[in-house]
Every structure is written in structure tokens, then in C-alpha cells.
Structure 1
Amino acid sequence: MSEQVLEAVRGLVPGIAERAAEAEAARRIPDATVKELADAGFFRLLQPKAFGGHEAHPALFYRAVREIAAACGSTGWVASVVGVHPWQLGLFPAQAQEDVWGADRNTRISSSYAPTGQVTRVDGGFRLDGRWSFSSGCDHADWVFLGGLVFDEDGGPPDMRTFLLPRADYRIEDVWNTIGLRGTGSNDIVVEGAFVPEHRTLGFADTSALACPGHELNTAALYKLPFAAVFSTTISMPIAGIAQGALDAYLKATRDRIRISYGGQKVAEDPHAHVRIATAAGEIDASWTLMERNIRDLMADAEAGREFGLKLRLRTRRDQVLGTARAIKAVDLLFENAGGRALGEGNPVGRAWRDAHAGRVHAVNDPERALSLYGQGALGLEVTDVML
């Protein structure tokens, strides 16, 4: 069934590409695109079977994300982020899952994890106030995940949690005016004194320990994967797809392109362009292949009931940040050789360049931090980090 979803998504790619300019102009994904993806079953790929999902292999999910992002970077980004949230909800207590999917199994969730709002413990749960930014695809969701810190009254370290709120408890403020990933509609979430019951929260301590309340209901290996590995790959995979889309667009334009300033030379006959194409294609393949390998290795361990070793976790983060870097390098090589027309509004290579660099600035793509962790582990030093 999951393979059928992937084939259905592939059939939607031409239409998604045609609406890329529309998404950018509207600063949000077109409703038609979201409906098509939902009807194809894309948003249910990582959803628990208990609530009508497919519990697909995550590598298949990321393959679909890559193909969507190649057609439209903003759509691929939203598809990846919103599409992974059913997996995370599967880690929450069963009552939270029932709250979201009990009436409509197609209900979607957006997110904003940076703990920028205020959290106050009250009887039976928590009260949230404040503003959370960068909630991609929030216009197409009826619930939201928000990150927050619960402080210990005795002065201990704060408890980082994810809070789940329905649309009635927050408002969306339209602030998303950017040069890249413009179509993602990553607007602000504003909360004013909303109550969140205890069962609609999930502690990072539980996700790090791989001991989440949702495991009692959702026993598949998929829900035993490390949160950090899934979350970080979710951010980098659309960028790899964007790079592939840039290569496809570059090749299409270059076959007939003439350099007037070089005596009418055909760019397709330029050996320097050939080198750039080969280098970019190699970087894109390496980006995707290594990230997919790690996800498959993690799933293999989960299916066999093996403990995830630190070496694999570190390698996953290493290849995730380097995967982003490789995709950026590929896009840069192509953009630099695409000529002045790539600067034009609506040019697919120029759009890919803007979108890829916009995705690069996400906090999880900080290469120095992740690579430093890998180096520490390789030298046998103690490594502790919440994003492993």
C-alpha cells in the first residue's frame, strides 16, 4: 500500500511543479496541492495503523519528500515537516492521539519547537502564553506542536516538552515574508492563556530514552526510532530534493542555451559545464544515499530489537548536516553557471538556490555542532547532546 502512495505522489509532481510560482506568490502552499497530497495518502505514510495510517518505512516517506521537493522546494519542505508529525503524535499518550484523530483521521499538525513562549504548571496540566515562530504549513493544520520549558521549582534543570494544542487555542499571525522557502507559510503561532492537559504533552526525556507513552499502543519498530535522527533527516531531505530539482532544471535549460558573450558557444558543449554537472550530480547522490542508508540501518536495528549504538547516532547526524552541505554545494555550482536568466523571478534554478539556502539556516543544519560531536565520539570522548 505504501508503494502505491509513492506512485500516486509521483503522478502529482507535474502539477506541483506548475504551482510552484503560485505557492511563492501566495506565500503558502496552494489548497489544491495539499488536498491532492492528502487524497494520495501522503500525510498518512507515518501515521499509526491504529488510526488509519500506513506505518510505512521512513525511507519510502523520505523518497516521496525528495521527489516533491524537486518539483517545488516549499511544497517539499511543508510535506516533510507536516508529514512527519503523525509519527511524533504516535509517541504521545493514546488519549492525545484520540483527541486529534478520533473524529477525522486526516487531521494535520504543524509545529514550532523553539521554547520561546511561557509555560506555567497548573492543576491537571499547563498554561501556555506567548509567540512561537516558523510554523511551516500552519494554515493547513488544525493542531500544533509547540516547544516549551517547564522549570523545576527546586532549581533543577528545566524539562523540555512538546505541547499539543487545537486550532481554537491559538491564532496564526501572517509574518512570513522571506527570500527563500517563501511558499511554506511559516507564520507565527500566538497563544494567550491556553490550557494544555498533561496527556497532550511529551517530554524530551522520554523521547531521548526511547520510552514514550505512545509505545504501549503503537508497537511497530517505526515508533522506536530516535527522535533526533528522524527530525534532523526531515529537515535535510527536502534540501536534497531541491538540489535535484535544480539539476533537472539546469539540464533542461542548458541543452539549448547559447553564450552570446563567448561567440555564440553552446553551453552544452562547454567542458567546464560538464564538470559542474558531474560534480553537482555526485554531491546530490551522496547527500541522499548516505542519509537513506542511516535511516535504513536505524530501522533495521529497531526491527531486530537492537539498542541503537552511539556510533550510528553520530553518523546519522554527521551525514545529515553534510547532506545539507552537499546539496547546497550542488545548487551553488549550477546557479553560478546558469547565466543571468537564473536571477529572474520564477526561474526554477534561481528559486532552488533561494530555497536551499533558506533551508540551510535551520538550526539543525548547524554543521560545526554536529561534526564536533562526531569527532568527539571518534576519539572516544564522552558525548552528550539532546539531538542524538
Structure 2
Amino acid sequence: MNAFDKAPQPVVTSPENLLAYARTLVPALKDRAVSTSKLGKLPDETISDLNAGGLLSMTTPRKYGGLQVSVSTYLDVIAELGRGDAAVAWSAALINVTTWAAAVLYGEKVADELFGGEQPARVVGVLSPRKAVVKKVEGGYLIEEGLWGFNSGIYHANWDLLGIPIVDAAGNVIDQGAALVRASDVEILGDWDVIALRGTGSSSVSVKNLFVPDERVASMSRAVQGDYQATHLAGEALYRVALVPMLALILTFPALGVASAALEVFLEQLPRRGIQYTWYTKQSEAPLTHLQVGEASAKFDAARAIIEKHARLMDESAESGVYMAFLDRAKVRRDIGFAEKLIWEGVDLLATAAGGSLAATHNPFTKLWQDARVASLHGIVSQTTNFELYGRVVCGLPPNTPLI
């Protein structure tokens, strides 16, 4: 099956069945992890597996054949995929969240084009451009030159959501926008050469002299406040979820899967290890090991509790029809930074306990350690950035970003 073939109708629909299906994929994802990393994108077999269970359509509106799951279900499924391979979980998380963003940012005319084609809608995107030279023209905008980095999942997408400045006829920047373009209109630069999450294929992309019609350019300042163009979906809770909390929180979902896998792999390897330069021939008998496992598992459980709480609150806020309050949105940013900190500390603690074997490239724990580190470096989950942001707000100062 080609990566862009029409996906079959998903065979699973309930949250429980989705999670169970994701769990069945874990062994195969583990087996393919090394080859996926070498390939630099998800193999067609993995795309087929994800399609078969609807795992790339979890945020596609039900009216267009999608599963339209809750944020909490989204969390559980992506975290389970992360137990198998962080790159698969990351790609599925990003494809789903950007597809959701495209669903809320644009009106029904665009939605019909996006979701009504022969191929399943797979949207990826980058909201912060490295370079974007834009001109207002009749009927839309001309991106004369643009460059965007870290376009996760672009090899598996048919649409790309790219951040651009919105300018007036005189060239003055009047807002920040999101331009929905066909993936076939962007050039993939193939520059994703990294130590971890290689299978996400998060290459940079560029465009030149690309026209984007007005209806496919959305105002980000309006969207951040919950002023979505998707009035045709206003009655559906998923499409009332707060924008930035949704875009930010989902980046922690793959990390939760890595945390679970790290503890599992550490405990699986434990019976075969001693502690060098001590009398311990079995590491499992050392009190130090018990302390390390206890602390790491506590960090993982705490991180999951924090993330699950916010997923639940986001679902509840959307169900109520009241857009999440500003301070609550800022708190999501704060807490995802803290959760990522806990996950990385826990994985690193277990890696330290694994000793010199971590230097071996074939050690499965080495990949988990690298994936956890790189996942924690994404700007939106940076603990220091998010702590400062929340601290400014509660101290009565204006935030240092509109992305709340």
C-alpha cells in the first residue's frame, strides 16, 4: 500500500478499542525502530498499520469520516505508540494535531476541499517561519520566498500548514497567519540529520512564488483567543478545544510512551547486570537500584498525572462551550514544561543506572535515552521558557509571547 492511498475504513471506533489496537502495534514498531531511524521517515508498513486503525484520523471530523476522539483518548493512544517507537508516536501526534488545527482554523469551503478528497487528509505544519517574504495580492497572498524548519511528518502529508506574516497592500505586517498549502507545492530539503527521532522525517521545507487564496490563510491572533473560522463544527466539542494548549500538550504524549518503555527496558535488562567494582553480582539486589527505580517511576507517574489532568480539563472546557481562561492556558504551558522535566530526569536516572552499556549503539535503552532528550528540547515544552512565562503572568506582567 502506497503511503498516499485512500485509507480503509477504520476497524476500530471506541476509545478502548483504539487503545487496544495501538497496543497490538507495539511489538512491530519496536522491531522496525532501527530501520525506521535509518530510513528517516515512517515506512509504508507503519503508515498502513496506523491507517488500518484510524490512528492518523483521530482528529478528523466525524462528518468527514474521521474518529473525532477526545483529547484524553488522543493522549492514551499516542503514549501507547511511544512505547513502540517515539518517532512513530511523534509523527502520529503531529499529523493529528495539525489536521485538527486545519479543521478549526478554516471555514467549511476549505474543510470540504481538505477532507473531501480521494486521499485521507494528512496535515503537517510549522507555525514559526525561519524566513517568509509575503505580498498581498488580489484574492490572497503570494509567498515570494519561505523557509520553515522541523516539518515533522512532511513525507506522509498531503497538506502543509505554514506560518506567515499577514501583510497589507503596503507590505506592513498586521497579523501572524497560517497558510494552508498543498504538500506537493513545497520543496522538502532533506536536512533532518539528527541523533534521535530520525524516523519523524522532520525536514525543513521551502516555497517560492506560491499563491495562497484568502480563504486558506487564517489569523493566528484570532485563533489563539478561540475565534475559529470553523463555524460548521461549532457544535462539536473537539473543535472548541483551546488552540495553544492543544498544540503544546500533545508534544508530551510521545514522551510518556518513552518513559514507559524506558522503565520496561531497564527492568528487562536488570537480571543480566551486576554493578562493576562492587560485590553486587545482581544489580537488582542493590538498595541503590531500588531507590533509582522508585524515583524514576515516581517522576513518570507524576508527569502522566499532570498531563492527564490537563487533557481532561481541556475536554471539559470544550464540552462546556466556554473557551479556556487565559491563566488556565498559561498553566498548561507551565505544566508541560514541568512534566517534560520529570520525564527526562527519570529516563536519565535510569540511563545512569544502566552504566557503561549505554555507550553501545545497539542497546535499546540508548535510543530511548536519546529520544527522550531530543523530545524535551522542543521550544514549546522548554521548562525554563514556560516557567518564566507563567511567572510573568502571575506577577502581573504581560506575557512574552502571544502563544498562550
Range class of TM-score, shorter chain:
over 0.9
Q: Kindly report which structure 2 residues correspond to 1:174-193, keeping only aligned pairs within 5 A, or say none.
A: 174-193=190-209
Paired residue for 1:84?
97
Q: Kindly report which structure 2 residues correspond to 1:123-202, keeping only aligned pairs within 5 A, or say none.
A: 123-128=138-143, 129-152=145-168, 158-202=174-218
Task: Provide the identity percentage.
Answer: 26
Q: Kindly report which structure 2 residues correspond to 1:23-172, keeping only aligned pairs within 5 A, or say none.
A: 23-91=36-104, 92-104=106-118, 106-116=120-130, 117-128=132-143, 129-152=145-168, 158-172=174-188
CA distance in 2, matches of 1:294, 1:188: 31
CA distance in 1, matches of 2:79, 2:290: 24
CA RMSD, Structure 1 to Structure 2 (Å): 1.9
The partner residue of 2:357 within 323, 331, 341 is 341
Contact 1:215 1:223 in 2 (8 A): no
Contact 2:283 2:289 in 1 (8 A): yes
How far 1:258 moved relative to its partner? 2.5
Normalising by structure 2, we get a TM-score of 0.91
Paired residue for 2:388?
372
CA distance in 1, matches of 2:44, 2:82: 17
The partner residue of 1:2 within 11, 14, 28 is 14
CA distance in 2, matches of 1:152, 1:245: 50
Q: Kindly report which structure 2 residues correspond to 1:7-18, keeping only aligned pairs within 5 A, or say none.
A: 7-18=20-31
Paired residue for 2:374?
358
Deviations 1:87-128 (A, max 9, x none): 112111222222222123623122122122222211111112
Alpha carbons of structure 1 residues 190 and 159: separation in structure 2 relative to 1, 3 Å: same
Q: Kindly report which structure 2 residues correspond to 1:220-259, keeping only aligned pairs within 5 A, or say none.
A: 220-259=236-275
Alpha carbons of structure 1 residues 77 and 346: separation in structure 2 relative to 1, 3 Å: farther
**Secondary structure at the counterpart of residue 180 of structure 2:** strand
> Amino acid of the residue matched to residue 345 of structure 1?
T
Contact 1:228 1:386 in 2 (8 A): no
Alpha carbons of structure 1 residues 317 and 50: separation in structure 2 relative to 1, 3 Å: same
CA distance in 2, matches of 1:276, 1:346: 23
CA distance in 2, matches of 1:21, 1:168: 28
Q: Kindly report which structure 2 residues correspond to 1:237-386, keeping only aligned pairs within 5 A, or say none.
A: 237-263=253-279, 265-383=281-399, 385-386=401-402
Contact 2:129 2:146 in 1 (8 A): no
Stretch moving more, 32-41 or 343-352: 343-352
**Secondary structure at the counterpart of residue 373 of structure 2:** helix
Segments of structure 2 that go 5 or more residues without pairing to the other structure are 1-12
Stretch moving more, 368-377 or 51-60: 368-377
How far 1:11 moved relative to its partner? 1.0
> Amino acid of the residue matched to residue 119 of structure 1?
V
Contact 2:91 2:152 in 1 (8 A): yes
Alpha carbons of structure 1 residues 211 and 347: separation in structure 2 relative to 1, 3 Å: same
> Amino acid of the residue matched to residue 14 of structure 2?
S
CA distance in 1, matches of 2:333, 2:219: 21
Matched residues, number: 388
**Secondary structure at the counterpart of residue 59 of structure 1:** helix
> After TM superposition, what 4+ stretches of structure 1 lie above 3 angstroms from structure 2?
151-158, 376-385
Stretch moving more, 119-128 or 303-312: 303-312
> Amino acid of the residue matched to residue 47 of structure 1?
T
CA distance in 1, matches of 2:196, 2:62: 36
CA distance in 2, matches of 1:22, 1:342: 20
Contact 1:38 1:106 in 2 (8 A): no
Deviations 1:119-163 (A, max 9, x none): 221111111222211111111111111111123567865411111
Normalising by structure 1, we get a TM-score of 0.94
> Amino acid of the residue matched to residue 291 of structure 1?
I
Stretch moving more, 257-266 or 268-277: 257-266
Deviations 1:180-228 (A, max 9, x none): 1122111121212111111112211221121111133352111111111
Contact 1:240 1:323 in 2 (8 A): no
CA distance in 1, matches of 2:14, 2:138: 42
How far 1:375 moved relative to its partner? 2.2
